[in-house]
Amino acid sequence: MKNIVLLGATGSIGKSCLSVIRQNKEDFHLYGIGFGSNVDKAQEIIQEFNPNYIFAAQSQADRSHNFWQVNSNILSNEDELQGLIQDPNVDIVISAISGFAGLKASFFAIEAGRTILIANKESIVAAGDILMPLAKKKNAEIIPVDSEHNALYQCLPLEKNLNEISKILITASGGPFREDSLSDLRGVSLNDALKHPTWSMGAKITIDSATLVNKCLELIEAHYLFNIPESQIEIVVHPQSIIHSMITFIDGSTIAQMSNPSMEVPISNALGMGKRLPINFKEIDFSELNLSFEPVAHDRKMIFDIAREVCNKKGNLGVIFNASNEIAVEAFINKNIDFVDIYEVIQRTFNCFSCSKVRTIDEIFEYDKEARIQAEKVIKSLH
Ligand code: NDP
Ligand code: MG
């Protein structure tokens, strides 16, 4: 029986994780959960899974809710979160908080040498230079949950001989605006941007999918997780989201991982750690399948250029890219900027910084703060 701490339990990834755990109760115990402010959902989870510990991050959560009366073991500050993650009874930490807010949890887990299932790609993008060497030093195993990276993880030869890889192909659905040129996107509504054709996810990642910034984050994530130069990573648009990514090896073979789009598939793979766990899934009907592939639209190339620069220069550039995107997406969701301005905010913020080395996690937080301030200034200048 493995004890799991699931951070981001009330979210979309959290829901899929709980479903996999529910289907494999004899193997996993939900030891702890963490969430932001959705006390209704948290209470449902507590009633079903009875976790030993509950971490509730956000003080604005409704304090009159009976959640606060019926649960006595609520943790709420960062030290308590760290204590939970470092509890020797914990076997697996799932990092599924959304955005940069998930970094502390990823850092605590890696620092404690825990096995970490990483959905929170923003941690790796912003702090890859700190987290990857730390994981090596502390012997922390990082297992990717993001469907593309889990697909690559499944395709990698067991001995992980990276010299045998010719290139990695990360697939992209293309999002709701795949067929539109950038100039057609001025004025698109939040609702249009939230209509993802193949995946149902949290709001922030859904907007990232519409801008293709999600794919940029995934490019950087793959670069760090698999230690592969960006020049060996290709993005290919595959609207059906059946092939989740592929590796071409030096002998000309390409291996792909396929499933109908469901996050339960990569989550069960990650939780199984080498063992295939039984879950309910919808089989691919190959007789109905029509797979297509196309390059990324040329007018979105500028955002991939930034992501590739992040991979090549590293240091503080990942955290700046991530922070500028988070501020831009928030401004779009709050209807303060246009959809296409997201690109403008990222580019202009990114260009305000030069590349510097980062040595500590605190420096990452400093750069994050500075980049957010700069991105807010850019947004003001757009009005
Ligand atoms: P959601 O918005 O659905 O869920 C986010 C979760 O994080 C919620 O449980 C939320 O709590 C919690 N949370 C938010 N802020 C904080 C905070 N400050 N402290 C603690 N908990 C917090 O996001 P997703 O599940 O879609 O995404 C989660 C992560 O997984 C992201 O990094 C995303 O990029 C990644 N991912 C998601 C995929 C998907 O299919 N959804 C696919 C691949 C990667 P509450 O709601 O209670 O406030
Ligand atoms: Mg993905």
- At 279-296, the pLDDT tens digits run 999 999 999 999 999 999
Whether the per-residue pLDDT at 132 is higher than 80: the answer is yes
- Mean pLDDT, the chain, rounded, equals 96
β-sheet bridge partners, residue 169: 234, 246
Selection from 195, 170, 171, 212 nearest residue 298 by Cα: 212
> Which residues fall within 8 angstroms of residue 72, CB to CB, at 6 or more apart?
none
pLDDT-derived band at 164 (thresholds 50, 70, 90) equals very high
Domain-wise residue ranges, the chain: 2-144
Please tell me the predicted confidence (pLDDT) of residue 162: 85
Lowest mean pLDDT among 87-91, 121-125, 196-200, 359-363: 196-200
Spatial CA neighbour of 273 closest among 153, 105, 102: 153
pLDDT over 70 (residue 159): no
**pLDDT at position 73:** 77
Probe residue for ligand 1, chosen from 46, 54, 100, 201 as the CB with the greatest number of ligand atoms within 8 Å: 201
Classify burial at 225, counting beta carbons within 10 Å of its beta carbon; exposed 0-12, middle 13-18, buried 19 or more. buried
* Domain 2-144: assigned CATH number: 3.40.50.720
Percent of the chain at pLDDT > 70 equals: 99
pLDDT(229) > 90: yes
Predicted pLDDT at 57: 92
pLDDT of residue 307: 98
In the structure, what pLDDT confidence band is assigned to residue 311 with cuts at 50, 70 and 90? very high
pLDDT at 59 exceeding the cut of 90? no
DSSP annotation of 294 reads: B
241 vs 162, residue with greater confidence:
241
pLDDT at position 97 is 97
| 122 has pLDDT over 80 | yes
Distances 169 to 104, 244, 292 between C-alpha atoms, Å: 30, 9, 14
Distance 302 CA to ligand 2 centre (A): 20
Q: Which of 65, 97, 215, 325 to mutate to test the pocket of ligand 1 (most atoms within 8 A of CB)?
A: 97
Cβ–ligand 1 distance for 49 under 6 Å, the answer no
Q: What percent of the chain stands above pLDDT 90? A: 92
* 232 contacts 168 by C-beta, under 8 angstroms: yes
Task: Report the range of poorest mean pLDDT among 29-33, 65-69, 270-274, 336-340.
Answer: 65-69
Q: Which ligand is nearest to the CA of 219?
A: 2
Q: Is 47 exposed, middle or buried (0-12, 13-18, 19+ CB in 10 A)?
A: exposed
pLDDT value of position 158: 65
97 lines ligand 1 (CB under 6 A): yes
* Mean pLDDT in residue range 32-57: 96
Summarize the confidence of residues 106-113 as an average pLDDT.
Answer: 98
Average the pLDDT over 163-187 and give the result. Answer: 96
Structure token digits, residue 15: 């829901």
Does the CB atom of residue 35 touch ligand 1 within 6 A?
yes
Is the pLDDT assigned to residue 349 strictly greater than 80?
A: yes
Ligand 1 atom nearest the C-alpha of 199 is: 40
Higher pLDDT, 37 or 157: 37
**pLDDT average, residue stretch 263-267:** 98
